[in-house]
Amino acid sequence: MSKELVDALNALEAERGIDRATVVEALENALKAAYKKQYNANQNVEATFDDKKGKMTIKQVKVVVLDEDLLDPDTEISLTDALKINKAYEPGDEIRFDVTPKDFGRMAAQAAKQVIVQKMREAGREAVYNKFIDYEGEIITGEVERQDRRFLYVMLPGKQEAVMGPNDQMPNEHYRMHDRIKVLVTKVDNAPKGPQIFVSRTAPDLVKRLFEQEVPEVYDGTVEIVSIAREAGDRSKIAVYTHDPDLDPVGALVGQRGARVQSVVNELGSEHMDIVEWVEDEAQYIANALNPSEVTDVIFDPENDHAVTVIVPDDQLSLAIGKKGQNARLAARLTGFKVDIKSESEAGDLMLKNQGEEQADEVVAEDLADDDVDGALAAEEVAHEFDHEQDSDESQD
């Protein structure tokens, strides 16, 4: 057994990369627990494993105490008895006694087997975690394995199972066993029972990673995807930018005859893609985000830094808003602004109304001012008459 155990340790260290010292420590703890369970749970014992020779030893530890202070013979030894062993002992010293049972071999072998199996499982889980944590935020191709009420289960390379929740499944897709799909690894959780990997088909970053695969300029950073707003399975808006003045960032993503963007669209089940250019001018960026609608004007709310009113031609209003408000909603998400869209007619009527209210306010203000002047004159006349009467009274006196 000793040689087999040493060989097993060597294999664990060489083939699985498991730290030898960690296994030895776990084995010693297991031997200690096994001994106390079988023989005397009250004893204070130490287990030692020689990983070179494969020899296991159990030693009982006792503390030297004065004879009159001896309370627990399992953990203490009187000074008198200690001095019989070695005259140098003093109260407080520890003495170790070899108590390794002769029939301890089988129990030790069982404990060693359990420890090695456990460490192999832990090492396997750790290896899986370390592998897939590097994939977090990246695309990986998997195979649909099964589905229940909670999750869709996807088998990833290395026979590692990942889960996809309902919100991460495309509403326009029906998954069948053995379908191969590209997924985004959104989270790798190092759970006690083993790593749990979560994947998604609806995350906005999936669109970004797909474009990185199709567009070299995105992959190498020449074209930057600044923002993505997505309603998975239906429509996405993507804002792109480049520092290269000679490069059209929108054209780079679209590709010749739309080949590049079409590859992404096909992967996502015909999800429509609006690709717009990001610019520093916020008004122009908001106008770009409302593509394919034309924009007449963008008016910023002076009381809210993240709210704008966008004016569009009358015949462009429904296009700007989109079906069920989708175009406006995605533009707002893409830019980070609250977007209120009005037609030119609505904007004109609103301006006339505001002008009328301003004129009415001016008339009221003028009337109040006139009232103030008339009141002041009347007060002045009353004061003058009062002064005149006072002068008359004084002359009579």
Checking if the pLDDT of 305 tops 60, the result is yes
Percent of the chain with pLDDT over 70: 86
Look-up: residue for tokens 């008459």? 385
195 closest CA partner among 130, 115, 149, 137 = 130
Checking if the pLDDT of 386 tops 50, the result is no
Checking if the pLDDT of 321 tops 80, the result is yes
Contacts of 75 (CB under 8 A, 6+ apart): 42, 43, 44, 61, 62, 63
Supply the pLDDT for residue 356: 43
Exposure string of 52-63, with b = 16+ CB inside 10 Å and e = fewer, is: eebebbbebebe
> Rounded CA gap, 155 and 132, in Å?
13
347: left (phi over 0), alpha (psi -120 to 50) or beta: alpha
Query: Which pLDDT band, with edges at 50, 70 and 90, does 360 fall under?
Result: very low
* Mean pLDDT along residues 371-383: 50
Contact 197, 191 (CB under 8 A): no
pLDDT tens, position by position, 109-149: 777 778 777 877 777 788 788 888 999 999 999 999 999 98
pTM above the 0.75 mark? Answer: no
Checking if the pLDDT of 383 tops 70, the result is no
Contacts of 73 (CB under 8 A, 6+ apart): none
Q: In the chain, at which residue ranges do the beta strands (DSSP E only) sit?
A: 45-50, 55-65, 76-78, 94-98, 139-147, 152-156, 160-164, 180-191, 194-200, 223-231, 235-242, 272-277, 297-300, 307-312, 338-343
Going along the chain from its start, the domains and CATH numbers come out as: 2-131 (3.30.1480.10), 134-200 (2.40.50.140)
Checking if the pLDDT of 337 tops 70, the result is yes
> Rounded CA gap, 32 and 37, in Å?
9
Checking if the pLDDT of 358 tops 50, the result is no
Tokens of 7: 């060989």
Query: Which pLDDT band, with edges at 50, 70 and 90, does 382 fall under?
Result: very low
Contact 40, 33 (CB under 8 A): no
Judged by average pLDDT, the poorest of 117-121, 198-202, 284-288 is: 117-121
297 bridge partner residues: 311
* 100 CA to centre of own chain: 52
Average pLDDT taken over every residue of the chain = 85
* Mean pLDDT along residues 3-19: 74
Supply the pLDDT for residue 365: 45
Contact 328, 294 (CB under 8 A): no
Q: What DSSP assignment string belongs to 161-206? A: EEEE-GGGS-TT----TT-EEEEEEEEEEEETTEEEEEEESS-HHH
Cα atoms in the Cβ-side hemisphere of radius 13 Å centred on 115 = 27
Checking if the pLDDT of 324 tops 70, the result is yes
* Mean pLDDT along residues 223-239: 96
Supply the pLDDT for residue 394: 46
pLDDT tens, position by position, 157-197: 988 899 999 999 999 899 999 999 999 999 999 887 888 99
Position 391: which residue type? D
Look-up: residue for tokens 């739309």? 258
Supply the pLDDT for residue 29: 87
Supply the pLDDT for residue 233: 92
Q: What DSSP assignment string belongs to 203-238? A: -HHHHHHHHHHH-HHHHTTSEEEEEEEEETTTEEEE
- Asked if residue 73 has a cis previous peptide bond (ω within 30° of 0), the answer is no
Tell me the torsion sign for CA atoms 36, 38, 42, 44: negative
Exposure string of 86-121, with b = 16+ CB inside 10 Å and e = fewer, is: eeebeeeeebeeeebeeebeebbeebbeebbeebbe
Supply the pLDDT for residue 396: 47
Supply the pLDDT for residue 22: 80
Judged by average pLDDT, the poorest of 81-95, 316-330, 376-390 is: 376-390
Query: Which pLDDT band, with edges at 50, 70 and 90, does 2 fall under?
Result: low
Cα atoms in the Cβ-side hemisphere of radius 13 Å centred on 281 = 7
* Mean pLDDT along residues 264-290: 94
pLDDT tens, position by position, 19-64: 778 888 888 888 888 888 888 778 899 988 887 877 888 899 999 9
Supply the pLDDT for residue 372: 52
